[in-house]
Each structure stands twice: as C-alpha cells, then as structure tokens.
Amino acid sequence: MNRNKHPPNSENHPLIHMNPHDLVPFLEIKLYVDNQTPDIESFHTAPRLFATHMPYHSLPESIHKTRACKIVYLCRNPKDVLVSIWHFTNRLRSQGMGTNSLAHVFDQFRNGVSLFGPIWDHVLEYWNQSKEDADKIFFLKFEDLKRDPGFYLRRLAEFLECPFSAEEEGIGMVEQISQVCTFESLSGLEINQNGKLSSGEENKAFFRRGEVGDWKNYLTDEMVHKLDEIIEKKFGGSELVF
C-alpha cells in the first residue's frame, strides 16, 4: 500500500531499519494498552495499517460495520502454530522462570488456553466471515503464501484496492516486494538480529525458521493424532483444510 512512497528496492526502505511490529502497530498491544486512547487521526496518513490478534467478535462494532475498513487474516496449520508458540514463549521467558515443556504447552493448546482464545474458534470465525463477505475479509493461509507469494501478493493488492499496474508488473514490482519481505531477507537484517522493539522485546524472538511442516520434527505420534481429531471435529464441514 506504500510502495509508491517506499519503493521496495530503496536502500532506505523502512523494513531495513525497523521491525514490522513497529511499522504496523498492534491495536491491543501498543495503541490501546493500559487504557491509552491514541489519536488515530494523527497516526500516519490514511489509509492506515494496524495489526491485531483479537478474535473477530472482540473487534469494535465500528470495524464490523464500516465498508472502509478491510481485514486481512493470516493463519497457519495449527500444528505449526503450536510449535511456534512453544519456541516463542520460551524465548520471552526470563532465565529464572525456566522453560515450558512441549507437553505442557501442548495440553494448554489443545484445551484452548491461549492469550486470544482457542485457535480453533479464532480461525473458524474469521473463515466463516470471509465466506460471507469476501470484499471485507481476505482469508490467507501461511502455507499458500509460502507456496506462491507472487500470486497471493497480487490478490492482496486487488483486495486492498491498489492493484499492480502493467507498468509495475513490467519492472518486476511484485517480485521486488516479495523479495524484501521474505523470511530470509528480514531475519538477516541487523535490526532484526540485534535490535529491540520499542516495547523492549528482542526482534530476533520473532524469527525462527518460517517453514511449513516443522511440527514433524517435534510432535509425537500421539500429539499428532489428538490434534488431528480436534481439527476434524472443529473444521469438518467448513471446507477449511490445512
């Protein structure tokens, strides 16, 4: 959405000098945390980009009702989400707290205990809403994005009403954006190797592998079986497949 202002091949591109979490702030983690009331009108220029982990039903009614606010929902195979959460939360724990075992995190995860509610309900609610109103919610899977980033980048641009022009296609704009946003490109930057967020977390905590199917290296057959049962029970009949 900001490609005219910040060409992806620019040496001064914001992603080179700042972590994505600082560029696209989280509503509930940064802007409205501790009962703050930010002046959204003064926050950058429209259209504004924000992030959130909130379930759909927890979003303000103003977001539900207005056609001007579009939602891009990105999800991932729950098995990979589990492994990612396990690694991520342990990275954020202080040394004195020790580490959480995978078995402990697995039990919490399958029972729906997480910061933003059961993942099954979270994903399914956005999925169903996207089926009802595809112009309002763009539902995207991590696995699809990894498989064909160019295709989904074009679809994303069309959804956000800023499609790539023939001239942009001709100069390889889609490929340039894809390249600057790859896991390898972002994780290798100095800011993400040694920098910290404005809230204090180390940027490198947000980068581990970025691969599809890493759960196979960690989950036992019993864990996989139990998760498959839950996935079938929760998502069966929805046409949502991982």
Residues that are catalytic: 53
Q: How far apart are CA 8 and CA 103, in angstroms?
A: 42
What are all long-range contacts of 149-153, with beta carbons under 8 Å and residues at least 24 apart? 149/178, 149/181, 149/182, 150/174, 150/175, 150/178, 153/177, 153/178
Half-sphere exposure of 219 (CA within 13 A, CB side): 25
The label of the residue with tokens 């991932």 reads: 76
Backbone phi, psi, residue 111, to 5°: -90, 5
Q: For residue 206, which amino acid is it?
A: F
Q: How far apart are CA 123 and CA 145, in angstroms?
A: 17
Give whole-number Cα distances, 47 to 31, 65, 67, 159, 231, in Å.
17, 17, 13, 14, 36
Q: DSSP string of 24-92?
A: S-BIIIIISGGG----GGGSSSSSP--B----GGGS-HHHHH-SS--EEEEE--HHHHHHHHHHHHHHH
